[in-house]
């Protein structure tokens, strides 16, 4: 029987006469029209889900700002949502929510994009809202003054993010004249000087039909879309703004270096080169070089730097925007390893440039990019964003050429591009290090000597014999070593069909592990994984982090594959093995083009059941976990959340850190992970799940064979979650421009019916158009980021609020959050608020089902933690049944003053 239920395209290994881009349906199914006024309309009908995405992309961004306007494009993006003559402040977001959708926007160097995603039935309403904002934004002066304070908070948040500061500092170092050299969101003093007239002038100049692309993708009739667009956008006067080019570089940069320090835990290191724009013939080759060097566990930099414990993360990429490009290699490393990490990165970069790449490395990169492309096109919004961005860069013809080049270039072409554009004498190097640590180099001459010595050594990983490209076994060629091994060991591999439940086919392995299969017709990728109800709650307090360490160390090798072979095999299918290790579950997942599913199942089955836990591999993951513990304190979202958790949960297992602590990780070793695997992976409450365009019976049989050794087992219930009496707080002080505050209250558990009221309360409070957003962000200008959400777990839940603000306004932010919670206790939400939140949640649920990964997650959550698979289809019914009285009752029960646990990172008001 065929593995797939439908027809799939074999892109790389396919018929030689076909170009790879011919397998991308939207390249041939998109209707394009330029309206008489110059606006470009792109429409594609996709019936795979009852969803529509509308993208309005204006070709105006940071590169279109003069030096006295830096940040104005981003300011206008914010003001776009602040009202029109017929829609007041907040009304745009509220109406979108009421129609079951969401909206957002982003500004980048060469464009600003506004997007909304809605149920397809709400298309006309969504289009009308976008059209109103596009053509009639008021740009009110008082609202502008308030919003500028919000934007300044966003700028401060970015200044508190070490990686963002590092990369923009690298761009500035590399360029003397080009506008990419500027801190793109603008600086505080200059932002405050913007007037309504300046913002309005920018708006009127650039937001013209001839400078705009409108992309619509979804379950909508193209002719109807055209009619509705013509009735609105077609009435606008046709104008195309003049576009004077920005200044260009006149000389080569030469070797450049900048190093500075700040209150950060991990050192940031980045190399960068000026490279050509997207339209240059070498851009696809440089994209491939970035993936070969820095994407995935099989990449050169990962193996030479991260695997050797020199850095906690390392990556490389080719970035292009407008008329410029930058090639970047970036690492985060413990300060004591920074010099060695810098040398090792340079060594690999130069070895690839001088000695070349293996063919297998390039094919691995091509498979990764192919799968990345398909993942982007899995949703309506991904497709619409794709269409708009490529239209701005030459259209789908250019997209096809680019995609075909990516998947056809060989190793020689990639090396030649690196030799042309990544010259060692033209590199910029930045280092942002923890205060008190030693500089990588005291001067440029010393740095140059260190790099020269490293480059002369050749690659540290190329000495490893080529692993080659794993072959995709045919369904009937008998290549099933894992299954044969299981049979030889006396492990039964049969599968039994249990029942069909709505769209889920339920099977069981011979050892009782359930297999859940959802046939998703037309899906380009298949998502699958194996999951256990276990996680960090099973770790003793002194062994925090053991579950995660075990789950990660399983990728370091099996009885028949090394860790490098595991990585190469996964990435050669365009995937990686995702590891999730939370408080209550662990899981390993993959998503691959369907043609690779059989081989991917064999690989994952080997990793989950037969880990070798090599001593050096376990030690590597333990060292990386220690680095992650240190890096956690640099995260102005996760760290206050962690502080709030420790304040709230005391000795309960929910207080466990999934990462671990410096103390606990120091005690863990190979024997610990071996024991944890045997007790909580091979014998566990487990489930295997698959979502894709597959034949359920065939896939279930393969899963039963590949995971035959896992035995289903029960688990012990968790003790109820106590909540402390009285306020609790945990606080830290950092040299940051913002303070970040997390307030945590008790909340409903995973299976408490009140959880639906908690979700509705969250939708009323949070997000664009929410109470917290409008009051604390729009009216008081306290923060760029404010949110509120429930946390649902088996033994008890929580309700959390988060805000980041200026240190001087910490008390005001705390009081504002508590005041908004009090409003929920004092009165029921209005009927309008309630209905809007319900429609938003119902629409968001439908929109999320586009993703096979989301379907997989919902499936597993319902099975492992819920009342059954039927929950997946009852979600919207439960949400629709919530009343205003339910919301107020929930607030009175859980969101009481004096019950909050606080996590605060107090900023001193200074940063890099």
Taking only the tens place, the pLDDT of each residue in 880-902 is 999 999 999 999 999 999 999 99
| pLDDT tens column, 691-718 | 999 999 999 999 999 999 999 999 888 8
Tokens of 588: 């390993």
CA–CA separation, 782 vs 96, rounded Å? 24
Q: C-alpha distances in angstroms, 535 versus 451, 490, 511, 588?
A: 43, 30, 22, 12
| Tokens 């705009």, residue located | 212
Dig out the tokens for 160 from the structure.
Answer: 């508190």
| Cβ within 8 Å of residue 540, ≥6 positions away | none
What sign does the CA torsion over 894, 898, 901, 906 have? positive
- Contact (Cβ atoms closer than 8 angstroms) between residue 571 and residue 313: no
Angle, nearest 10°, between helix axes 359-376 and 395-406? 150
**What does the pLDDT read at residue 15?**
45
| Residue 473: per-residue pLDDT | 36
Helix (H, G, I), strand (E, B) or coil at 293: helix
pLDDT band at residue 248, thresholds of 50, 70 and 90?
A: very high
Mean pLDDT of 722-748: 95
Q: How far is CA 494 from the centre of its chain?
A: 38
Cβ 741 vs Cβ 803: under 8 Å: yes
Whether the pLDDT of residue 10 is over 70: the answer is: no
3-state helix, strand, coil in the chain (%, to 5): 45, 20, 35
Q: Assign 800 to helix, strand or coil.
A: strand
Query: What are residue 273's DSSP bridge partners?
Result: 327
Residue pLDDT, tens place only, 297-355: 999 999 999 999 999 999 999 999 999 999 999 999 999 999 999 999 999 999 999 99
Claim: this prediction has a pTM higher than 0.85: yes
Range 71-92 average pLDDT: 94
Q: What is the pLDDT of residues 540-568, one digit of tens each?
A: 999 999 999 999 999 999 999 999 999 99
Tokens of 39: 């606006």
Instruction: Calculate the dihedral angle through the C-alpha atoms of 218, 221, 223, 227, rounding to the nearest 10 degrees.
Output: -80
pLDDT of 887 reads 98
pLDDT, residue 641, reads: 97
pLDDT recorded at residue 481: 42
Q: Share the mean pLDDT of the chain.
A: 92
Measured in Å, how far apart are the chain's first and last C-alpha atoms? 61
- Give percent above pLDDT 70 in the chain: 95
| Cβ proximity of 577 and 588 under 8 Å | yes
DSSP character at residue 562? B
Rounded CA-CA distance 584/860 in Å is 13
Task: Tell me the C-alpha distance between 114 and 133, whole Å.
Answer: 10
Find the helix or strand (DSSP H, E) in which 641 lies.
helix 638-649
- Can you give the C-alpha Rg of the chain in angstroms? 27
The yes-or-no verdict on residue 12 having pLDDT over 50 is no
CA 305 to chain centre: 23
Backbone phi and psi for residue 667, each to the nearest 5 degrees, phi listed first: -95, -10
The percentage of residues in the chain with a pLDDT greater than 90, rounded to a whole number, is: 87
Judged against a pLDDT cut of 80, whether residue 440 lies above it is answered with yes
* Residues composing the chain: 912
Q: What is the pLDDT at residue 485?
A: 55
Mark 585-605 as b/e (b = at least 16 C-beta within 10 Å).
bbbbbbbbbbbbbbbbbbbbb
Please write the tens of the pLDDT for every residue from 495-543.
998 999 989 999 999 999 999 999 999 898 999 999 999 999 999 999 9
Q: What span, in angstroms and rounded, lies between the C-alpha atoms of 407 and 369? A: 8
pLDDT score of 757: 98
What lies within 8 Å, CB to CB, of 254 at 6+ separation is 425, 426
Residue 895 contacts residue 816 (beta carbons within 8 Å): no
291 in Cβ contact with 407 (< 8 Å): no
- 630-655: average pLDDT: 94
Within a 10 A sphere around the Cβ of 819, how many other Cβ atoms?
11
Q: Specify the 3-state DSSP secondary structure of 93.
A: helix
Q: Which helix (H) or strand (E) holds 219?
A: none
Q: Which pLDDT belongs to residue 103?
A: 94
Tell me how far apart the alpha carbons of residues 124 and 635 are, in angstroms, rounded to a whole number.
41
Residue 53, phi then psi, degrees to nearest 5 = -120, 135
- pLDDT category of residue 489 using cuts at 50, 70 and 90: low
The DSSP code sequence of 410-442 is: -HHHHHHHHHHH--GGG-EEEEEEETTPPPS-S
Q: Could you identify the residue written with the tokens 């306004």?
A: 809
Measure the CA–CA gap between 861 and 525, rounded to whole angstroms. 21
- Distance between CA atoms of residues 23 and 14, nearest Å: 10
Specify the higher pLDDT residue, 449 or 803. 803
**Residues near 726 by beta carbon (within 8 Å), at least 6 away in sequence:** 898
Contacts of 490 (CB under 8 A, 6+ apart): none
Nearest in space to 80 (alpha carbons), one of 156, 144, 146: 144
Please tell me whether residue 558 adopts helix, strand or coil conformation: strand
Predicted confidence band of residue 464 (pLDDT cuts 50, 70, 90): low
HEC per residue, 696-762: HHHHHHHHHHHCCCCEECCCCCCCCCCCCCCCEEEEEEECCCCEEEEEEEEECCCCCCCHHHHHHHH
Q: State the pLDDT confidence band at 450, using cuts at 50, 70 and 90.
A: confident
Residue 706 phi/psi, 5-degree rounding, is: -75, -25
């Amino acid at each position: 029987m065929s593995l797939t239920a439908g027809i799939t395209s074999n892109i790389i290994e396919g018929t030689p006469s076909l170009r790879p881009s011919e397998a991308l349906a939207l390249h041939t199914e998109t209707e394009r029209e330029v309206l008489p006024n110059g606006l470009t309309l792109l429409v594609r009908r996709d019936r795979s889900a009852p969803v529509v995405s509308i993208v309005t992309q204006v070709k105006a961004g940071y590169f279109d700002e003069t030096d006295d306007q830096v940040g104005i494009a981003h300011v206008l993006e914010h003001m776009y949502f602040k009202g029109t003559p017929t829609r007041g402040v907040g009304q745009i977001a509220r109406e979108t929510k009421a129609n079951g959708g969401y909206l957002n926007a982003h500004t980048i160097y060469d464009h600003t994009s506004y997007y909304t995603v809605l149920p397809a039935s709400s298309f006309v309403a969504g289009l009308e809202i976008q059209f109103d904002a596009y053509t009639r934004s008021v740009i009110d002066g008082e609202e502008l003054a308030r919003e500028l304070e919000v934007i300044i908070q966003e700028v401060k948040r970015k200044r508190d993010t070490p990686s963002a500061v590092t990369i923009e500092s690298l761009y500035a170092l590399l360029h003397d004249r080009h506008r990419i050299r500027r801190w793109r969101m603008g600086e505080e003093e200059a932002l405050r000087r913007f007037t309504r007239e300046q913002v309005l002038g920018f708006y009127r100049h650039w937001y013209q039909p001839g400078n705009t692309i409108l992309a619509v993708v979804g379950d909508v009739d193209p002719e109807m879309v055209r009619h509705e667009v013509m009735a609105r956008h077609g009435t606008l006067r046709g104008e195309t703004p003049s576009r004077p080019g920005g200044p260009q570089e006149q000389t080569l940069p030469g070797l450049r270096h900048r190093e500075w320090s700040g209150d950060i835990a991990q050192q940031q290191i980045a190399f960068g080169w000026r490279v050509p724009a997207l339209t240059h013939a070498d851009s696809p080759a440089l994209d491939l070089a970035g993936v070969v060097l820095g994407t995935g566990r099989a990449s050169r930099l990962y193996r030479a730097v991260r695997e050797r414990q020199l850095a906690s993360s390392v990556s490389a990429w080719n970035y292009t925007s407008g008329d410029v490009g930058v090639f970047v290699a970036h690492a985060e490393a413990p300060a004591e390893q920074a010099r060695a990490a810098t040398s090792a990165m340079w060594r690999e970069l130069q070895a690839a440039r001088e000695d070349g790449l293996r063919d297998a490395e390039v094919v691995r990169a091509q498979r990764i990019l192919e799968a990345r492309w398909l993942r982007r096109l899995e949703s309506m919004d991904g497709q619409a964003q794709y269409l708009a961005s490529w239209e701005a860069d030459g259209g789908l013809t250019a997209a096809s050429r680019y995609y075909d080049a990516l998947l056809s270039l060989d190793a020689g072409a990639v090396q030649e591009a690196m030799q042309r554009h990544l010259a060692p004498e033209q590199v910029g190097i930045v280092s942002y290090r923890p205060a008190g640590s030693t500089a990588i180099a005291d001067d440029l001459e010393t740095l140059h000597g260190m790099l020269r010595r490293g480059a002369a050594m050749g690659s540290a990983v190329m000495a490893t014999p080529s692993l080659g490209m794993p072959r995709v076994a045919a369904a009937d060629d008998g290549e099933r070593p894992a299954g044969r091994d299981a049979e030889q060991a006396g492990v039964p591999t049969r599968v039994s069909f249990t029942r069909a439940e709505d769209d889920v086919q339920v099977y069981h392995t011979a050892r009782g592990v359930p297999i859940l299969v959802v046939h998703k017709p037309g899906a380009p990728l298949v998502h699958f994984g194996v999951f256990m109800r276990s996680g960090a709650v099973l770790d003793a307090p002194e062994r925090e982090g053991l579950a995660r360490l075990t789950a990660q160390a399983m990728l370091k090798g099996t009885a028949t594959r090394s860790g490098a072979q595991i990585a190469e095999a996964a990435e050669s299918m365009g995937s990686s093995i995702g590891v999730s290790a939370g408080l209550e579950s662990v899981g390993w997942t993959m998503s691959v083009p369907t043609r690779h599913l059989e081989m991917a199942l064999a690989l994952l089955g080997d990793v989950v059941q037969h880990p070798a836990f090599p001593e050096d591999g376990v030690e590597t993951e333990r060292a990386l976990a220690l680095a992650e513990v240190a890096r956690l304190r640099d995260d102005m979202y996760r760290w206050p959340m962690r502080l709030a958790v420790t304040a709230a949960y005391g000795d309960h297992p929910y207080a466990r850190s999934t990462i671990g602590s410096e103390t606990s990780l120091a005690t863990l070793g190979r024997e610990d992970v071996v024991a944890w695997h045997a007790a909580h992976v091979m014998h566990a409450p487990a489930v295997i799940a698959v979502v894709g365009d597959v034949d359920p019976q065939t896939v279930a049989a393969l899963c039963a064979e590949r995971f035959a050794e896992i035995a289903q087992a029960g688990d012990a219930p968790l003790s109820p979650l106590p909540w402390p009496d009285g306020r609790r707080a945990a606080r830290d002080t950092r040299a940051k421009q913002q303070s970040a505050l997390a307030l945590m209250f008790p909340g409903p558990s995973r299976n408490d019916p009140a959880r639906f009221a908690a979700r509705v309360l969250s939708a009323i409070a949070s997000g664009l158009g929410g109470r917290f957003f409008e009051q604390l962000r729009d009216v008081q200008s306290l923060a760029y980021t404010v949110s509120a959400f429930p946390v649902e777990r088996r033994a008890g839940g929580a309700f959390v609020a988060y805000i980041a603000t200026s240190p001087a306004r910490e008390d005001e932010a705390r009081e504002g959050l508590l005041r908004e919670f009090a409003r929920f206790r004092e009165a029921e939400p209005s009927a309008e608020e309630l209905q809007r939140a319900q429609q938003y949640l119902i629409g968001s649920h439908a929109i999320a089902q586009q993703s096979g990964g989301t379907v997989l997650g919902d499936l597993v959550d319902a099975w492992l933690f819920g009342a059954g698979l039927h929950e997946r289809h009852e979600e919207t019914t439960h949400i629709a049944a919530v009343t205003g009285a339910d919301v107020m009752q929930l607030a009175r029960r859980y969101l009481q003053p004096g019950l909050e646990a606080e996590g605060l990172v107090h900023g001193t008001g200074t940063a890099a």
